Amino acid sequence: MKNKDRTLAGILTYSGTLPLVGCVVLLFAPLAGVDGKLVAIAYAAVILSFLCGIHWALFLFFSEKCPNNLLITSNIVALLAWASLLCTNHKMALALQGIFFLILFALDFQLRRAGILPDWFYHLRRNATIIVVLCLAALAVLS
């Protein structure tokens, strides 16, 4: 991948964490009628599904090198992420989603070791996962 494309991927990835950072800010500067926890839960479910789609595609292209059957694991995590939307305990939903992000990152670690994910993308995913999990934890603990 060209350096400018890597830069763009970084900008887009970090921009994708901003809605969750914004939800944390809403804890300290609330907007009338906006529930930051509910917004974060919905957004996290969408992002989890997006990441699961990446894993699904990686399996389609690199099935012989994949350490896991990503068709199955990515679908299970995506379904659990969407099921978390039904959880009426927002703290529980946020905690579960944080765990799901960590599970997907653990899969990324395995994909990197298998030579499927390049180092630059792995490091980008690591940084984004840290931001996201910290935001979800802050929303769960501080709300």
The residues spanned by each domain of the chain are: 36-142
pLDDT at position 2 is 92
Per-residue pLDDT of 47-83, as tens digits, reads 999 999 999 999 999 999 998 888 899 999 999 999 9
pLDDT at position 61 is 93
Flag whether pLDDT at 136 surpasses 90. Answer: yes
Please, which pLDDT band fits residue 1 given cuts at 50, 70 and 90? Answer: confident
Nearest C-alpha neighbor of 43 from the set 31, 32, 35, 55: 35
Per-residue pLDDT of 6-46, as tens digits, reads 999 999 999 999 999 999 999 999 888 899 999 999 999 99
Per-residue pLDDT of 77-125, as tens digits, reads 999 999 999 999 999 999 999 999 999 999 999 999 999 999 999 999 9
Cβ-defined contacts of 114-122 (< 8 Å, 24+):
114/62, 114/65, 114/66, 114/67, 115/65, 116/58, 116/62, 116/65, 116/66, 117/58, 118/1, 120/1, 120/6, 121/9
User: Which tokens belong to 89?
Assistant: 């305990």
